[in-house]
Structure 1
Amino acid sequence: MQWTALAAAAALFANNVAAQQMLRFACSQLVVERTDPLVNPGMKYTPHLHQIVGGNSFNVTMDPSADPAQKSTCTSCSFVQDKSNYWTAVMFFKHKNGSYIRVPQVGNGGPQGKLINKGGLDVYYIPSGKVTAFQKGFRMLAGVASNTDANKVAKSNICHRCWTSTSEATFVGGAPCSGSDTVEIPSATNCKMIRQTIIFPTCWDGVNLDSPDHQSHVAYGQGSGANGGGACPSTHPKKLPQIMYELMWNITSFDASMRPASGNPFVYSMNIGGAAAHGDYVFGWEGDSLQKAMDNGCTLNQACPKAGLTTQSDSAYSACTKTQQAPESVDGWLAALPLGEPAIKA
């Protein structure tokens, strides 16, 4: 009887999520490199490695007056009109011999259907009532790359899930950042995948397109998790679409015999755990296409004529790549994490 009730609850959750209006689409990796035009504009070999997706006009400086929608000639995301850039830290596995390797990534399944990624991540835009789309020049940051205290992170905004299935298409758990999800990176040996979720603020001060810390011009609403954001405070009254990143890290190739004797073998590229997980966003949708998408109920990764949204095949968006602007080898086993000098092979 208990298992029947659990199965029914899981099915109800899946149906509710699948029915919720949201854009949900795949973005393959544009480039993996040590640049960060939001936090370290103009710098090459920034303090840690990022994976970047989106429009190919991404560059070291990302001048706020330059519109990615006009500058980019392709996007590594499935919606042709989305030339925004999205980036996150990279997860590494530490071998017991001291060497490191990037954890491979796969697309995500779940109630809304499978998405195909070549690396990269899945992006959600979740409206809650009437929302104001981001404006040209808008950018923001979620999370703190130097944070080591999990208690300083709201699990409802940044979390990790131990995916016990060997297939990302087999849904595991409940709503994002709920239940047994954790701020820290799971390290249990029964985990086959690790899903990372980053949920951005949904409330804007209505004036500033950015702020010195890339966070003060936005705020989280009263809601919790991936629900569209909830009511906004008076200091940040403009309701934005809720942006959520989902990443699936496939850890099935790292068996117990490869792990160090102690400690979590999974770390982000800052050589810190899940408390330092973060995501960066630079808006770059063409014209008012995102506002029209939110106003006209466009959903999932489907073409939406009312908003002028068109999609491209996974082979097309995965072919949109960019040469490293801070050249170094980031593939295969590395003697150390890419911190400081360019990385060297193990």
Structure 2
Amino acid sequence: MMRQAHKRSQLKNRAVVSAAALLLGGGGTAIIAANASAGPDGAGHRSGGAARTAAEGSATTAPTVVCPDVGDRLREVPAPVRTEVSQSLSQLDAQVARAYERMATRGDTPAAVLAELKDKRAETIGRITDALGTAAGGSAPAAEEQAGLPALAGCSTRQVSTAAADDSSSALNSTLGARGKPGGPSRADFADIRTAPARSGPPAARPGASTGTFASVCGRNENGHFNPDNVIVTPGVRNGAHHLHDYVGNKSTDAFSTDNSLAGAGTTCTNGDKSSHYWPVLRVLDGKAAPDANAPGGGHDGNMGTVLRPASVTLQFKGSPVTKVTAMPRFLRIITGDAKALTNGVANANASWSCEGFENRQLKDKYPICPDGADVVRTFAFQSCWDGRNTDSANHRTHVAFARGDGSCPRGFRAVPQLVQRITYDVPAGTAFAVDSFPEQLHKPVTDHGDFINVMSDDLMRKATGCINGGRTC
């Protein structure tokens, strides 16, 4: 188990909270400075020294804001209005974050917050429908989609459990306290990896399976490529992710990347693979003010704590247990997992958490507590079935699919190499940790996600598929 954290002065804690308060007054999106507002010794010190009431201390839930995911409902976004729609989707995210901040840290009444939020969302969704209508020229499918979007303006609140986990780890007691901090995570979000059930193995390979593997060695982001953009979901929008991303592979990826710019950029991969791999950073909740404490994607968006650099990154492509794989198209975009799984539900959640030496045990909705000396392992196993036509889709999901339980692809899809991103972290003793997230998602482990853009050359992709289909390790 992790050891007791060293204490920090309350004065430094208050300084971080004060900086956050200044940003709020200046129009910051949503700052949840809770990670800096309580000592890592778990004593529950708050800014200004005010103690929680007994009722607050015994509470086991906290509210968050739940809104329909407009982006997930889109089925077609014509290229001429893609940037305009992206900007509106990012504005919707910012509106939800501000509403959550008003309730979580200012104590505004939910009814008033939700009424104002609905008005703002209705206006923004109206801009999306207008843009789609103009681009589609009044086609019937576009009109049907537009008609359903205004109904997505209304939001609600949900009480999320902050109850203590069964595990009574002294480290979680010291860094999170019995309830955790406002904005998450709580002790209930952690579990001893040794208590997780062992998982069953993959389907047995059939005759004609593709059993090889192909790896790209792309480093651990030693060059410090970070930004809060997401060129897949919100192209053309700075801070479109509202959380910080860690990148390996393509050196140029940001909000304004295009297929041509990605193809012309350099790469950190040793085999010349220019693909872009990125995921939300992991932060230790050590109460320290990170360099981005006042920056977009960092403290400005409720992401506090020190960014952890990966100890290792493995990028491996695997085959299908039932058939040969076909080459991925160049510039194929895939997102796995759901950054809004807390409020959207877990249908698209797909992150796995474990510890080195225990990877036959995987956690989906908990962060792992690892035995001494074992690194935390974070794994994204991407969709391995492609529709054979599209390199992306309006909601960034429907052009790809997961294989069925027996390893076969759904009807209309074909098997492609399956990307598995495996990232390990040497988490410092005495600290809890969490992924960056949208503020209202409370840094829950189930919201973790990975992103990939295939920028392999055609020759390199042929080599990869040849290795996989030939049963070789490359």
- Compute the TM-score of the two structures, normalised by the length of structure 1: 0.62
Q: Quote how far apart the aligned CAs of 1:150 are.
A: 11
* Residue pairs, 1:158-197, within 5 angstroms: 158-163=351-356, 171-174=357-360, 179-187=361-369, 190=372, 192-197=374-379
Counterpart in 2 of 1:219?
Answer: 401
Q: Quote how far apart the aligned CAs of 1:44 are.
A: 1.8
Counterpart in 2 of 1:101?
Answer: 306
Counterpart in 1 of 2:257?
Answer: 62
- Please state if 1:50 is matched with 2:245: yes
Counterparts of 2:228 and 2:380, CA distance in 1: 20
**1:223 and 1:241, CA in 2 relative to 1: closer, same or farther beyond 3 A?**
farther
* Residue pairs, 1:34-183, within 5 angstroms: 34-46=228-240, 47-64=242-259, 66=260, 68-69=262-263, 71-72=264-265, 74-80=266-272, 82-95=273-286, 100-107=305-312, 121-128=313-320, 129-148=323-342, 152=346, 157-163=350-356, 171-174=357-360, 179-183=361-365
CA contact (8 A) 2:378 2:424 kept: yes
Counterpart in 2 of 1:292?
Answer: 463
CA contact (8 A) 1:195 1:247 kept: yes
Counterparts of 2:362 and 2:375, CA distance in 1: 15
Rg larger for:
2
**1:84 and 1:187, CA in 2 relative to 1: closer, same or farther beyond 3 A?**
same
Report the AA paired with residue 462 of structure 2: Q
Which of the residues 259, 264, 268 maps onto 2:435? 268
**1:68 and 1:222, CA in 2 relative to 1: closer, same or farther beyond 3 A?**
same
Note the alpha carbon deviations across 1:304-326, whole angstroms, 9 max, x for none.
Answer: xxxxxxxxxxxxxxxxxxxxxxx
Moved over 4 A (4+): 96-99, 188-191
Counterparts of 2:405 and 2:258, CA distance in 1: 33
- Please state if 1:250 is matched with 2:429: no
CA contact (8 A) 2:336 2:381 kept: yes
- RMSD in angstroms over aligned alpha carbons? 3.0
- Please state if 1:22 is matched with 2:205: no
Higher relative contact order (CA 8 A, sep 6+): 1
- When the two structures are aligned, how many residues end up with a matched partner? 243
Could you list the runs of 5+ residues in structure 2 that have no partner in the other structure? 1-200, 205-209, 290-303
**1:279 and 1:40, CA in 2 relative to 1: closer, same or farther beyond 3 A?**
same
**1:42 and 1:154, CA in 2 relative to 1: closer, same or farther beyond 3 A?**
closer
Counterpart in 1 of 2:409?
Answer: 232
Note the alpha carbon deviations across 1:123-167, whole angstroms, 9 max, x for none.
Answer: 111022311111123111111112227971678x4210033xxxx
Structure with higher helix content: 2
Per the alignment, in what secondary structure is the counterpart of residue 317 of structure 2? Answer: strand
**1:52 and 1:205, CA in 2 relative to 1: closer, same or farther beyond 3 A?**
same
Could you list the runs of 5+ residues in structure 1 that have no partner in the other structure? 1-12, 108-120, 164-170, 225-229, 260-264, 303-346
Note the alpha carbon deviations across 1:235-254, whole angstroms, 9 max, x for none.
Answer: x4211111110000111x23
